[in-house]
């Protein structure tokens, strides 16, 4: 082999474009590959007694030590593939997810006996301008570059050989061949505008007409108690330390063993501590937003015990569970209004379906061409929208791709023959107008839309492929 080095053709192509940013790339590689492995501290803490085993793939246990390899591989791939500057947007979660993807992909590549021979590695190296000097490959330049990355050639070769394995695996299973018709559909979604009219049967209006005897409310409650069961809740305290507050972070790190509660953190380091109201697992946290991973950790903590220091995209976070409420079902008297609303909601939807089915039948059998006249005859709400595109919010209906798919499949003047059930009511829709497309413009932009479609289809196939491997390997993360 040529001095024990290898890189994928894709990485070659990207780095070749970045030659002008050589120093910046090497600096980033050094930063992402060298740091201590703090990323997995939270996972180790959560796993507690299982000897640092954090996953199983194909019957093989993956330890935190194993994960160091895959995380470095993920960091390396981001550094080599991403445009300089964009690496600032890469989160720890991106790195973790990519590392787990690599575990699955390499398991499958090895299972399929996919190999990368020396001649393929050498051919790749010779095509890579990043290691060329005046058009010629220079081993010393290559070694010097790797030294700046703080990586031995043999280690770099192992990583990049694995990149090539994954590339071959994808070529074996990922097949993309969109037709011109598919490309035109994507173009239409960006360009075409539609306008609709519709009849709406709102659930709230029907609920106002429904009266339920109190004894029926209690009967419903007794038969359907699980519907009203409330999830476990906690109150928690949390503190955020900015990532650029180096002095404070250093002091905290040196005293982690002495921090027993979050008040210790507050008193010793003047950290601002906030407290939430009672929340369930899926609730956003005021000041933090929607953070499922943080919520999961908070719910797993023991009362009044401080969490480990968690590194996140918004800074370093400490958590402490203050109070907790177990799941329970409230007494009927406490939620009578809620029970009544649940019954009315169910009955209103049933009634709306009956009305909508009758309207659809009248349209089908009565040769109706204009639903406005039908709405006036039956005294139902009728509305019209302005122009909108496929991915736009539709006034009165909301943002719903399934609805857009229906609307843009209709012809001008056509009434959709089935009622559409949405969160606020049932809708009967007629397409009032749809714009035509400019064939010359489509022809000029076809290659651009083809590239977009190929990228989208490739991503979807890769996601499905990873799900398939996860199932095949009986992976447990």
Q: Which distant-in-sequence residues (6+ apart) come within 8 Å of 334 by Cβ?
A: none
Stretch 377-383: mean pLDDT, rounded?
91
Is the per-residue pLDDT at 408 higher than 90? Answer: yes
Is the per-residue pLDDT at 464 higher than 90? Answer: yes
Stretch 199-228: mean pLDDT, rounded?
92
Of the pLDDT bands very low, low, confident and very high (cuts 50, 70, 90), residue 138 is confident
Helix (H, G, I), strand (E, B) or coil at 7: coil
Least confident interval from 58-67, 199-208, 340-349: 58-67
325-355 tens-digit pLDDT: 999 999 999 999 999 999 999 999 999 999 9
CA distance 8 to 157: 10
CA distance 376 to 147: 79
Residues 187 and 445: beta-carbon distance below 8 Å: yes
Stretch 13-18: mean pLDDT, rounded?
35
First and final C-alpha spacing in the chain: 37
Give me the numbers of helices (H) and strands (E) for the chain, helices first please.
Answer: 18, 12
Q: What angle do CA 178, 403, 455 make, to 5 degrees?
A: 25
Stretch 133-142: mean pLDDT, rounded?
83
Helix (H, G, I), strand (E, B) or coil at 430: strand
Give the pLDDT score at 25. Answer: 45
DSSP 132-182: EETTEE-HHHHHHHHHHTT--HHHHHHHHHHHHHHHHHHHHH------HHH
CA distance 279 to 402: 32
Q: What angle do CA 459, 463, 467 make, to 5 degrees?
A: 165
Phi–psi pair at 404, nearest 5 degrees: -60, -40
Is the per-residue pLDDT at 433 higher than 70? Answer: yes
CA distance 298 to 244: 24
Stretch 84-102: mean pLDDT, rounded?
76
Give the pLDDT score at 6. Answer: 31
In order of start, what are the domains of the chain with their CATH numbers?
9-173 (no CATH), 193-225+333-434 (3.10.50), 230-325 (3.10.50.40)
More confident residue, 422 or 294: 422
| Exposure class string for 208-231: b at 16+ Cβ within 10 A, else e | eeeeeeeeebeebbeeeeeebeee
Contacts 24+ apart (CB under 8 A), 105-110: 105/166, 105/169, 105/466, 105/469, 106/162, 106/165, 106/166, 107/57, 107/58, 107/60, 107/469, 107/473, 108/169, 108/469, 108/472, 108/473, 109/162, 109/165, 109/166, 109/168, 109/169, 110/165
Stretch 223-250: mean pLDDT, rounded?
91
Stretch 296-322: mean pLDDT, rounded?
89
Of the pLDDT bands very low, low, confident and very high (cuts 50, 70, 90), residue 131 is confident
Q: Which distant-in-sequence residues (6+ apart) come within 8 Å of 287 by Cβ?
A: 238, 240, 274
Is the per-residue pLDDT at 252 higher than 80? Answer: yes
| Mean pLDDT, rounded, of the chain | 84
Is the per-residue pLDDT at 46 higher than 60? Answer: no
Q: Which distant-in-sequence residues (6+ apart) come within 8 Å of 423 by Cβ?
A: 398
More confident residue, 378 or 426: 426
Least confident interval from 134-148, 180-194, 403-417: 134-148
Beta bridge partners of 202: 425
Length of the chain measured in residues? 477
Of the pLDDT bands very low, low, confident and very high (cuts 50, 70, 90), residue 148 is confident
Is the per-residue pLDDT at 389 higher than 60? Answer: yes
Rounded (10°) CA dihedral 73, 76, 78, 80: -140
Phi–psi pair at 252, nearest 5 degrees: -65, -45
Is the per-residue pLDDT at 33 higher than 70? Answer: no
Residues 235 and 384: beta-carbon distance below 8 Å: no
- Percentage of residues in the chain having pLDDT higher than 90: 58
Give the pLDDT score at 286. Answer: 81
Of the pLDDT bands very low, low, confident and very high (cuts 50, 70, 90), residue 82 is low
């Amino acid at each position: 082999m040529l001095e024990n080095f290898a890189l994928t053709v894709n990485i070659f192509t990207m780095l070749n474009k970045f030659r002008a940013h050589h120093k910046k790339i090497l600096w980033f590689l050094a930063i992402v590959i060298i740091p201590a492995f703090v990323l997995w501290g939270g996972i180790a803490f959560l796993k507690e007694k299982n000897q640092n085993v954090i996953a199983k793939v194909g019957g093989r246990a993956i330890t935190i030590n194993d994960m160091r390899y895959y995380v470095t591989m993920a960091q390396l791939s981001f550094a080599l593939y991403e445009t300089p500057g964009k690496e600032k947007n890469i989160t720890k979660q991106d790195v973790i997810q990519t590392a787990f993807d690599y575990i699955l992909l390499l398991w499958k590549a090895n299972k399929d006996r996919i190999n990368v021979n020396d001649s393929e590695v050498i051919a790749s190296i010779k095509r890579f301008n990043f290691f060329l000097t005046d058009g010629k490959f220079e081993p010393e330049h290559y070694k010097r570059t790797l030294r700046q990355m703080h990586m031995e050639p043999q280690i770099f070769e192992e990583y990049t050989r694995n990149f090539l394995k994954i590339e071959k695996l994808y070529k074996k299973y990922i097949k993309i061949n969109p037709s011109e018709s598919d490309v035109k559909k994507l173009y239409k979604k960006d360009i075409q505008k539609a306008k609709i009219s519709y009849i709406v049967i709102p659930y709230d209006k029907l609920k106002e007409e429904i009266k339920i005897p109190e004894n029926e409310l209690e009967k419903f409650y007794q038969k359907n108690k699980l519907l009203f069961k409330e999830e476990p809740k906690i109150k928690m305290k949390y503190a955020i330390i900015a990532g650029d507050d180096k002095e404070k972070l250093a002091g905290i790190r040196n005293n982690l063993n002495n921090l027993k509660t979050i008040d210790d953190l507050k008193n010793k380091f003047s950290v601002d501590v906030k407290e939430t109201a009672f929340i369930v697992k899926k609730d956003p946290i005021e000041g933090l937003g929607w953070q499922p991973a943080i919520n999961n950790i908070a719910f797993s903590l023991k009362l009044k015990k401080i969490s480990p220091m968690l590194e996140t995209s918004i800074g370093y976070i400490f958590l402490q569970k203050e109070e907790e409420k177990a799941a329970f079902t409230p007494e009927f008297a406490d939620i009578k209004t809620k029970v009544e609303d649940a019954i009315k909601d169910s009955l209103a939807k049933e009634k709306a379906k009956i009305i909508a089915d009758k309207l659809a039948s009248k349209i089908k059998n009565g040769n109706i061409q204009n639903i406005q006249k039908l709405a006036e005859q039956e005294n139902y709400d009728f509305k019209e929208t302005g122009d909108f595109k496929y991915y736009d919010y539709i006034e009165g209906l909301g943002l719903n791709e399934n609805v857009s798919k229906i609307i843009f499949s209709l012809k001008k003047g056509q009434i959709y023959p089935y009622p559409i059930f949405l969160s606020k009511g049932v809708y009967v829709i007629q397409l009032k107008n749809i714009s035509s497309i400019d064939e010359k413009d489509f022809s000029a932009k076809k290659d651009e839309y083809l590239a977009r479609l190929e990228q989208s289809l490739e991503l979807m196939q890769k996601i499905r492929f990873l799900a398939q491997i996860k199932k095949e390997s009986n992976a447990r993360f």
